[in-house]
A and B are shown apart, each in its own frame.
Chain A
Amino acid sequence: MNESATSMPQAFAQAAEMPDILPPVRVRRGLYGFAWRHPTMAIGLLLLGIMLVVAIFAPFLGTDDPTALAPAKRVREPSAEYWFGTDAFGRDIYSRVLYGARVSLLVGFAVAIFASLIGLVIGLVSGYLRALDGTVMRVMDGLMSIPPILLAIALMALTRASVQNVILAITIAEIPRVSRLVRGVVLSLREQPFVEAAITAGTSTPRIILRHILPNTMAPLTVQATYICASAMITESILSFIGAGTPPIIPSWGNIMADGRTLWQVKPYIVFFPAIFLSVTVLAVNLLGDGLRDALDPRMAKRL
């Protein structure tokens, strides 16, 4: 005790005399530091932020009514008056594309949240309670054997076209993947010493799940949720594009592209503007997901 107290200042004194071998570590703080450490996440957040602003403030960004028909102004090429041109019904594509951001982001976020929550509950229960595991996972295997887009198509064929039903259909198609992931994490956590210690100490099962297992599933689940958001936006656009998604009157990117489908060889801009917005938004969410994955699990960062 006494020895170490005297030797510490000496070590510091020596350290001061040592030559500078390493350059001083520059700690970057604030927004700039964040962007420096996590460039992919920063780019993703920036792009997603822009899209959010576009979606929220769509009425104030020089848009007209996105559903207003104007047969006299059909298929106008992009110009100063119609920035992205007009479609076969004379509707302003710039307005429709901007309002379309609302549908895509709403569907993406809603599906990510609902699928994560439901998948989390299923995964926690079946991963921790072995009695249920076999049955639940067989059902999930079965569900996963139906290609997600086809499952969503089948559900949409039976319900009225609406944004809510699109969210419901895609959520159901995404749940198996989440519950599989959570179950896998729970299975490995169960064997960890701290969980065994909690069991030995007589902690009740619900408490172990909530206090010891649940917090440790959050990191992989958050990453998965961003990927689900991205894939839900793609699925929504595909469903709308083939006529099994949002009602045609709603300006969603898939619907705008579906409207331009018959004319795309002569008027490609109808298809391309929503396509660019869709791709950029999905890219933003994917970059955010990759950034989160690298930040939350540095071991994975090197691998993928």
Chain B
Amino acid sequence: MLGYLLRRVLATIPVMAIVALFVFSLLYLAPGDPAAVIAGDQASPEDVEKIRKSLGLDRPFLVRFTEWSLQVLSGDLGTSMFTGLPVTELIGQRIEPTLSLMVVTLTLAILVAVPIGVIAAWKAGSWLDRIVMALAVLGFSVPVFVVGYLLAYTLGVAWELLPVQGYTPISRGFWPWLENLILPAIALGFVYIALIARITRATMLEVLSQDYIRSARAKGLSERPVLFVHALKNAAVPIVTVIGIGVALLIGGAVVTESVFAIPGLGRLTIDAIVRRDYPMIQGIVLMFSFVYVLVNLAVDLIYVALDPRIRY
């Protein structure tokens, strides 16, 4: 068991190294001259040269990569070209709203999607099941900002039920904080809920046809413990896997959701960096999110052990 945990933790190191190598190489792999692109069309040749120097493009790839890797390992993600401040500091200032949005969305999605998926599998073929499946297809098809604007316009602008814009820090109280995050979380969670509900239904369908479920029913258990204890526990591994994989959707979607609901988080930071062509900033954000994603999936692997005692590689 300890061996498995240790091996899983160690296995993330090469993955993170490849992520870092790839994110770094983008500067060299991108077609055309990145320095000229970043400088913009009105830039003089001197400006381009200055940017080339500041990006380190004038020195050999391996030298730069070694320097940069050592920097990243010591917790330094570089300096923003526009503000001149360290990237880590800027990320630190903006991380709370994004983290809040993602935690609320994750919680909401799991609380909604898993029961929906279980019930859809239980009533497979019924009208309820069909509605859930149709909504799931819709969830995959309607982009996050469309759901966002639809919710914001109906619930926020037309009916004035919830605030549409902005963010309140959690230090100003739990309800004001949550109130601002409800609409963004539903918008961001829509596709995620569809994904989790669909996998939950598929896995539950499989588990429910097993013999031990029939035994559980035969010994007189009522449906609720059969579904949520006997069946769901054994369907948990694929569901947890998809929850982990889906975090990539949350990260990508958060950038857009923050833009729709004017939340001053990392998404806003990203969009500002795009407009200003602040590449070190973008690089730092991509790297940070990728590491978070790797760690989430490491956590998922570790949860497997708790869920399924058979997993002991």
Chain A residues close to B by CB (< 8 Å): 138-139, 141-143, 145-151, 153-160, 165, 168, 230, 234, 237-238, 241-244, 257, 261, 264-265, 268, 271-272, 275, 278-279, 282-283, 286-287, 290, 302-304
Contacts and interface: CB of A to CB of B under 8 A. Distances in A.
B248 A264 contact: no
Contact-size category for B: 35 or more
Q: Does more than half of chain B's interface fall in helix, strand or loop, or is it mixed?
A: helix
Contact of B286 (A151, A241, A261, A271): A151
Given A141-B18, A145-B290, A244-B274, A155 B142 contact: no
Given A159-B30, A275-B146, A147 B252 contact: yes
Interface string B237-270: 0000000000011011101100110000000001
A230 B286 contact: no
Given A150-B289, A159-B32, A283-B142, 18 more contacts: A139-B18, A142-B14, A142-B19, A142-B21, A143-B18, A147-B251, A148-B252, A153-B255, A154-B282, A237-B145, A238-B145, A238-B256, A242-B255, A242-B270, A264-B149, A268-B157, A275-B143, A279-B141
3 smallest beta-carbon distances between A and B, as pairs: A142-B18, A149-B252, A158-B30
Contacts of B31: 159, 165, 168
Interface stretch (B65-73, B88-96, B198-206): B198-206
A63 B34 CA distance: 38
Nearest to A304: B202
Contact of A279 (B15, B16, B143, B153): B143
Given A159-B31, A160-B37, A287-B137, A143 B205 contact: no
A278 B294 CA distance: 31
Contacts of B294: 145
Contacts, number: 157
B26 interface: yes
B140 interface: yes
B111 interface: no
A244 B248 CA distance: 19
B37 A159 contact: yes
20 contacts: A142-B19, A146-B22, A147-B248, A147-B249, A148-B248, A150-B289, A153-B282, A154-B282, A157-B277, A168-B31, A237-B145, A241-B256, A242-B256, A243-B271, A264-B149, A265-B157, A268-B157, A275-B149, A275-B150, A283-B141
B109 to A, nearest CB: 16
